[in-house]
């Protein structure tokens, strides 16, 4: 076998044998769900004006637009205030549970439905961060993003330990969720609510059928081959989605950088100066004045922003340079959050950048968080029993995860 054949077979084995990037996808899951959750909680007093019946973009206008573009939103199923409150509350709940990693496959679907429902209801309320969140909410459905740092992973470890002791483990929550959501999905389909573009309804039905197949194979198959086949398919889908997320992040920075290059204000090095003096983007006027007082600093930040965004996709071939530029971009987004008053845009972009973080760094971060948790537990009078903290398992999400 020649070297090319060995490389191809190794690449195929790597893609099919495991779901890659477990820590990166976990951070992306936590980052985007936390961003959406914090946004919904902050806008809770203004929810009716943003997405509800009291908004300037009325229900009739939204209905006309959605009839023309075929966007998916459950808020078009009814114009009642009670229905809006239910959808908003489910958006908050699904975001919190996805962040914690509870029944992640189901919560990722509900999270996507919540994001699309609210954003497509009032399309003029968002910014660039909302567009990223819109896309990532769809991509997360295809990932196995609860392999680590999730309640699903912890439950899978406990179930595996129980089976090793000879105990019988029965999951009732997963099938119950699957049944309830199946009834709801069938009802809205039969009454004709799934109108417009076919993509999201088809995705919802596909995930529902796949979950049923996964449960049947895991509990009824006499041999392990069907489950292995499903694992291989799941790994391929996950790795493909992970590649799409990485490509999307690179595309965002590449297009943003090249469009900036064409702008006259970016070419003469003064582009950063102007948003610092817009009232809408100046929550801290004194800080904005301080940063814009030096023409040299403004020029360096302007040219540096363009350089980093254009160069980042090409630095993926060099790990050290990539990590340096990644730290610079995350720092830049943190500064934007404070100086320009765009916290949710910055959180969304930092969550997208997190897919490129090194695995070793994320593991160390997880270990430090675990040690801090243990210290807090000891200060609170709790005692951690030996063996209570189990190791993380890359296959934990789909072992006993039910729905």
CB atoms within 10 A of CB 376: 10
Give the model's pLDDT for residue 128. Answer: 81
Distance CA 150, CA 392 (A): 10
> Is residue 206's pLDDT more than 60?
yes
Average pLDDT in the 42-66 region? 90
The answer to whether residue 316 scores a pLDDT higher than 90 is no
Q: What's the rounded mean pLDDT across residues 208-224?
A: 80
pLDDT at 395 over 90: no
Residue 337 to residue 316: CA distance in whole angstroms: 26
| 111 three-state secondary structure | helix
User: Does 157 score more than 50 pLDDT?
Assistant: yes
Q: Does residue 401 have a pLDDT over 50?
A: no
Q: Which pLDDT belongs to residue 97?
A: 97
**Per-residue model confidence as pLDDT tens digits over 329-353:** 999 999 999 999 999 999 999 999 9
**In the predicted structure, residue 389 carries a pLDDT above the cut 50:** no
pTM, two decimals, is 0.90
pLDDT at 383: 47
> Which value, in Å, is the radius of gyration of the alpha carbons in the chain?
23
pLDDT at 387: 44
Mean pLDDT to the nearest integer, 55-73: 89
Instruction: Report whether 155 contacts 400 (CB < 8 A).
Output: yes
For residue 103, pLDDT beyond 80: yes
Give me the pLDDT at residue 221, please.
59
Angle at 317 between CA 311 and CA 319, to 5 degrees: 95
DSSP state of 390: P
Least confidently predicted of 234-238, 304-308, 397-401:
397-401
Query: What mean pLDDT comes out for the span 66-70?
Result: 88
Specify the long-range contacts of residues 334-339, CB closer than 8 Å, at least 24 apart.
338/284, 338/287, 339/276, 339/284, 339/287, 339/288, 339/291
Model confidence over 17-43: pLDDT tens digits?
A: 889 999 999 999 999 999 999 999 999
pLDDT (tens digit per residue) in 252-289: 999 999 999 898 889 888 899 998 888 888 888 888 88
pLDDT for the residue 399: 37
- pLDDT band of 118, cuts 50, 70, 90: very high
**Residues above pLDDT 90, as percent of the chain:** 56
What value does the mean pLDDT take over residues 369-388? 70
Q: What is the pLDDT of residue 136?
A: 96
- pLDDT at res. 144: 95
Instruction: Quote the mean pLDDT of the chain.
Output: 88
User: What is the structure's pLDDT at 104?
Assistant: 95
Collect all residues with Cβ–Cβ distance below 8 Å to 140 and sequence separation of at least 6.
Answer: 28, 29, 32, 98, 108, 111, 112, 241
> What letter does residue 54 receive in the DSSP assignment?
T
Distances in Å between the Cα of 203 and the Cα atoms of 110, 138, 233, 258, 351 are 12, 9, 16, 34, 24
Confidence of residue 109 (pLDDT cuts 50, 70, 90): very high
396 in Cβ contact with 152 (< 8 Å): yes
């Amino acid at each position: 076998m020649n070297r090319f054949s060995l490389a191809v077979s190794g690449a195929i084995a790597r893609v099919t044998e495991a779901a890659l990037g477990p820590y990166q996808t976990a951070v992306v899951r936590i980052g985007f769900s936390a961003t959406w959750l914090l946004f919904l909680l902050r806008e809770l007093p203004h929810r009716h004006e943003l997405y509800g019946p009291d908004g300037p973009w009325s229900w009739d206008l939204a209905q006309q637009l959605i009839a023309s573009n075929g966007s998916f939103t459950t808020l078009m199923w009814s114009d009642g205030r009670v229905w809006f409150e239910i959808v908003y509350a489910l958006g908050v709940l699904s975001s919190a549970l996805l962040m914690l990693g509870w029944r992640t496959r189901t919560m990722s679907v509900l999270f996507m439905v919540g994001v699309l429902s609210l954003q497509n209801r009032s399309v003029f309320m968002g910014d660039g961060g909302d567009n990223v969140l819109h896309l990532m909410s769809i991509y997360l459905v295809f990932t196995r993003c609860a392999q680590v740092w999730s309640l699903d992973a912890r439950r899978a470890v406990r179930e595996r330990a129980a089976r090793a002791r000879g105990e019988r483990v029965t999951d009732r929550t997963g099938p119950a969720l699957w049944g309830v959501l199946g009834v709801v999905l069938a009802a809205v389909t039969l009454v004709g609510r799934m109108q417009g573009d076919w993509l999201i309804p088809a995705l919802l039905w596909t995930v529902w059928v796949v979950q049923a197949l996964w449960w049947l194979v895991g509990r009824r198959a006499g041999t392990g081959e069907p489950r292995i086949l499903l694992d291989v398919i799941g790994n391929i889908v996950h790795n493909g989605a992970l590649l799409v997320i990485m490509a999307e992040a690179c595309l965002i920075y590449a297009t943003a950088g090249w469009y900036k290059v064409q702008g006259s204000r970016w070419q003469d090095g003064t582009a950063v100066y102007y948003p610092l003096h817009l009232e809408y983007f100046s929550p801290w006027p004194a800080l904005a004045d301080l940063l814009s007082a030096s023409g040299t600093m403004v020029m360096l930040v302007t040219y540096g922003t363009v350089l980093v965004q254009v160069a980042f996709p090409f630095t993926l071939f060099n790990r050290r340079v990539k990590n340096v530029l990644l730290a610079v971009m995350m720092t830049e987004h943190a500064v934007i959050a404070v100086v320009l008053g765009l916290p949710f845009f910055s959180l969304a972009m930092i969550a997208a950048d997190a897919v490129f973080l090194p695995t070793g760094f994320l593991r160390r971060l997880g270990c430090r968080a675990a040690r801090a948790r243990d210290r807090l537990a000891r200060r609170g009078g709790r005692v951690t029993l030996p063996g209570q903290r189990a190791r993380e398992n890359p296959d934990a999400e789909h072992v006993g995860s039910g729905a």
